[in-house]
Structure 1
């Protein structure tokens, strides 16, 4: 049972990590879009 909770804990950590990475990538791509839009306006 202890091992099971450990596995679940590490799985949750991985999910959180993936979420953070995905969020970072999303923010970066949004930033790129904004930069391109600003460039186009000038």
Structure 2
């Protein structure tokens, strides 16, 4: 039972890191797009 809880916690932690990476990449792309719009 303890192992199942640990695996569940690891799964949630990995999902949180993945979500953060996706959001960070999205923000970077939005900033780059804005910069290109301003420069053009």
Q: TM-score, normalised by structure 2?
A: 0.97
Task: Return 5+ residue gaps in structure 1 as ranges.
Answer: none
Q: CA RMSD in A?
A: 0.3
Q: Could you tell me which residue of structure 2 aligns to residue 28 of structure 1?
A: 28
Give the whole-Å Cα distance in 1 for the aligned partners of 2:5 and 2:38: 49
Q: TM-score, normalised by structure 1?
A: 0.93
Task: Return 5+ residue gaps in structure 2 as ranges.
Answer: none
